Structure 1
């Protein structure tokens, strides 16, 4: 029953774009016939849910689609820069919201494909001797981060406020100039503290945010005693290596995150898919065609997780974990579309405004192409 429900979803998505031949606007106008596009380049991480795009099983009728691996740092830099080489790109949702509202950015238009989602209770770390045992203990403490405005941090501050009553300004924030996974940082808010620097944030006067020492990453900051906790999407290198001086605030992360989902129904969104606006102007059907392509690729990933004759994922009990996840979160737990994600999207707009990342609050529908509003 669950499998047929998921397949109905992908059939529905495919029907929206199925049979639509994409064509260049000038060619269509002059000949009235569909012409095959020279190519649609898709960029992002190589998740299981895009494998079908990578190997060609999920594509777009009338177009040659190629997949190009890029990490989130690269795709954001390219998309928000002048080049924009990809017609379709993974993007950080909250960085996009910030650029859209604060800078009037319109280089890419979003479609409701939420390609990266992560529960973030796992990303709060504390120094073992800090005395911090519960979220409320963070009040008045120094918290290190490689980026105050990171998507993960925005969600963490959101649930700390909503679930535990801990406000962002209850903590003293230290923004590092280096991360343990990406090295020196050039685009984070610490540049606001340089001579002539301009803050990317819209924080009230006196908000407790200061720069960290040059060349010190978040793990080093914590273990040296310069902060008491870390809030970061990055798992600190010291934690990975088993340093006893650092631990998670929530010891049983899985149970905590599952309880959060049971209570709220939220599955936090990190990254989204955008279509270059100039490509949409040439091919107005492109947003829904891309939506259908990603939906089909997701179904392929679901089918692989369900396969038991020969495991396609290198985890011995992957099928049992998959079944447990479906029981908890529903058959189509990695949900795409506007309506199924309305609550998360409304929270993103609220959190970014309340936390000083944007200068005004907007309706999230403005971010998405109109053809996708009924998904």
Structure 2
């Protein structure tokens, strides 16, 4: 192969994406990425990849939970956010209890133990946010019992977080180690089947949150390693543009629920509000040390939407 041919070879990129309708179009080649040779890697379970990304920079481009991104940014881990929401929803249904357990409301959790997969789990970030905002219950008012560590190795949990060696959050409920549990979107319909939300009308409460903040809470976003963005900006842009096209092409597969409407690509007032509210919640909950500079993030994203 000549040197001329080599200069026209697409840039190889290690890309880690979960399996969603909009990402599958990239993975199966329905929407090609012109200008990059994407090597799509898999991770089972998906969250283990998030830890590998922020601890070892194991991928060039990686799906990442909002809370993990905020903590990584706070810790100085060299990743840049791309303006795409891959997963999102409201989270008032996520705070659950056993049907035969104490009939608690959210305001009754002060001084009690609540299970969550990790203190840095994004669903937990959003739940603790509305608990304080709507019920006056601060994160430090509750003992949070976790089954996993946070993804960002540099982070140290606050003293009101305790580690359990149970494998699943629902097991904490069944053993009566906790009175309530936070479950992510997939877990609500999986291990959480049959559990009861502490919020009586969770859907209406979630819609009220959306109207109040002008955004839908994001769970998973997309990041790129800073060195990859610096050295191969056109290839990274090609991935983003292909993803944006895939999101547009799968719009008909998403319903009008908050989860369906959350999936978007492009900088917007809604994404800015999501980062502002999520960043404020993270600061209140001691997940990060410094306020989130949304204007600085927007400036970084200008490259992608130019």
Map of 2:277 onto structure 1: 347
Alignment TM-score, normalising by the size of structure 1: 0.69
Q: 1:254 to 1:69 in 2, by over 3 A?
A: farther
Alignment TM-score, normalising by the size of structure 2: 0.82
Map of 1:20 onto structure 2: none
- Residue 287 of structure 1 deviates from its aligned partner by 3.9
The answer as to whether partners of 2:67 and 2:122 remain within 8 angstroms in 1 is: yes
Q: Deviations over 1:210-230 (max 9, x none)?
A: 333x34643232223222111
Give yes or no for the alignment of 1:159 onto 2:110. Answer: no
The answer to which of 113-122 and 56-65 deviates more is 56-65
Cα-Cα RMSD: 3.2
Structure index of larger Rg:
1
Q: Distance in 1 between matches of 2:299 and 2:30?
A: 25
Q: Deviations over 1:342-374 (max 9, x none)?
A: 100011221111101112223135456725368
Map of 1:141 onto structure 2: 112
Map of 1:235 onto structure 2: 188
Unaligned runs of 5+ in 2: none
Q: Deviations over 1:280-300 (max 9, x none)?
A: 222223443332111100011
Q: Deviations over 1:54-102 (max 9, x none)?
A: 2223233223334333343232133123362x33211222112212212
Unaligned runs of 5+ in 1: 1-26, 177-184, 193-197, 306-317
The answer as to whether partners of 2:88 and 2:220 remain within 8 angstroms in 1 is: yes
Q: Distance in 1 between matches of 2:177 and 2:37?
A: 53
Q: Residue 370 of structure 1 is aligned with which of 291, 300, 304?
A: 300
Map of 1:288 onto structure 2: 237
Q: Distance in 2 between matches of 1:83 and 1:370?
A: 19
Q: 1:225 to 1:61 in 2, by over 3 A?
A: closer
Give yes or no for the alignment of 1:222 onto 2:173. Answer: yes
Q: Distance in 2 between matches of 1:355 and 1:126?
A: 22
Q: Distance in 2 between matches of 1:110 and 1:348?
A: 14
Q: Distance in 2 between matches of 1:238 and 1:67?
A: 29
The answer as to whether partners of 2:283 and 2:291 remain within 8 angstroms in 1 is: yes
Q: Distance in 2 between matches of 1:247 and 1:154?
A: 20
Mapping 1:108-257, distance limit 5 Å: 108-176=79-147, 185=148, 187-188=149-150, 200-201=156-157, 203=158, 207-212=159-164, 214-215=165-166, 217-233=168-184, 234-235=187-188, 239-240=192-193, 242=194, 246-257=195-206
Q: Distance in 1 between matches of 2:191 and 2:52?
A: 31
